[in-house]
Structure 1
Amino acid sequence: MATKKRSLSSSGNSLLPWLGIATIILLLDQLSKITITKLFHYGESMAVTSFFNLVLVYNKGAAFSFLSSESGWQRHFFTVIGIGAAIYIIYLLRRHAGQRMFCWALALILGGAIGNVIDRIVYGHVIDFLDVYVGRWHWPAFNIADSAICIGAILFVVDELRRVGK
């Protein structure tokens, strides 16, 4: 009796393209953060358009600076959550490698999650630098990893709505 062997690059349902997308997101995220930290001092801002600034800020918490004012335990907590999420996402990518939109969503989330985990491990905080605003109202500063996670979440919802609609 022949058994089907799973691999990273089995034909048709390869895991490699999705890991490649996650790696590209990770590299763009880390290179942009290295660049911004070389060009800016903490808190420094540069207007780019009437609704967008570049600014160097640090986030010790999670999304929207959630828990950023805590004593430091959150760094380890969010690092463990990020690593756990990455492992689970790789498992899902392996199981569903043929589902294109679902895997795009997961790959974007994976690249973003690992990008922010690297920041937490190396710096103790996440580096944010994109500042979008309307008038005096600013969204919390974010980075490429955060953007990839948000786009991945939107794709995930769209994929689920399409699946329910069938």
Structure 2
Amino acid sequence: MGSGIFQGAVAAGAALLVDQITKAVVVANAAVLSTGLPVFPGFNLIYLRNDGVTFGLLGGAPWWSLVIMALAICVWLAVLLARTTCRVEALAYGAIIGGALGNVMDRTRHRAVTDFLDFYIGSTHWPAFNMADVFVVGGVGLLLAAPWLGEKLQTGS
């Protein structure tokens, strides 16, 4: 097993673990968080269940269809992970896979994902999200930066 695959697997495992631990804490404190818990101006912790995907898109779709779609994407990303020679890309693929699997676990158990991070300005709220979403978006951002980062890391600049 190449170091890139190992690095991607560790990233996936870490993302999945962080996601599941944070969601377990939120679910255990659902009564307190259901109305929102202010942390600082512009940020609340809240307990929500989202049966859709990003921004509530595909809300109302059968939960199992979203699980199948996410698993298919994870398989595709795992193939890309196995083929990459770039450690930055491996880390990114792993983060995305781990985040996606975290939301798959939620959909399988609860038929929806647990969202709890609520950012806002005034009365305008960004759609609530969770750590799985953070890892997916962060992984995509890392993939976009990989050509530049990979070059910098290889040249030692």
Category of TM-score, reference length = shorter chain: 0.7 to 0.9
- Structure 2 distance, partners of 1:161, 1:117, is 31
Give the equivalent residue in structure 2 for 1:38. Answer: 28
Higher normalized helix content (fraction of residues): 2
RMSD of equivalent CA atoms:
1.9
Out of 94, 99, 102, which is 1:112 matched to?
Answer: 99
State how far apart, in whole Å, the 2-side matches of 1:14 and 1:109 are: 15
Q: Deviations over 1:68-92 (max 9, x none)?
A: 2x2x52x111100111111111111
Match of 1:5 in 2: none
Q: Which runs of 5+ in 1 are unaligned?
A: 1-8
The residue type equivalent to 1:65 in the other structure is G
Q: How big is the shift at 1:67?
A: 2.2
Post-superposition Cα deviations, 1:142-164, rounded to whole Å, max 9, x if no partner, equal 0000001111111111225678x
* Residues in 2 aligned to 1:85 and 1:161: alpha-carbon distance in whole angstroms: 25
Residue 127 (structure 1) aligns with: 114
Q: For 1:37-83, what per-residue CA distance to the aligned partner results, in whole angstroms no more than 9, with x for missing partners?
A: 10122733100000110000000011011122x2x52x111100111
2 CA distance for matches of 1:125 and 1:140? 15
Aligned length: 150
State, as a whole percentage, how many aligned pairs show the same letter.
30
Q: Cα deviations across residues 89-148 of structure 1 (Å, max 9, x unaligned)?
A: 11111111x302211211110110000000001110000000011111110000000001
Can you give the 5+ residue segments of structure 2 that lack an aligned partner in the other structure? Answer: 151-157
Q: Tell me the equivalent position of 1:59.
A: 50
Tell me the TM-score normalized by structure 1: 0.83
Name whichever of 136-145 and 42-51 sits farther off: 42-51
When the two structures are superposed, what TM-score results if normalisation uses the length of structure 2? 0.88
In structure 2, the residue matched to 1:80 is 68
Specify the structure having the higher radius of gyration (Cα). 1
| Distance in 2 separating the partners of 1:40 and 1:127 | 10
- Larger relative contact order (CA 8 Å, sep ≥ 6): 2
- Runs of 4+ in structure 1 deviating by more than 4 angstroms, as ranges, are 160-163
> What is residue 150 of structure 1 aligned with on the other side?
137
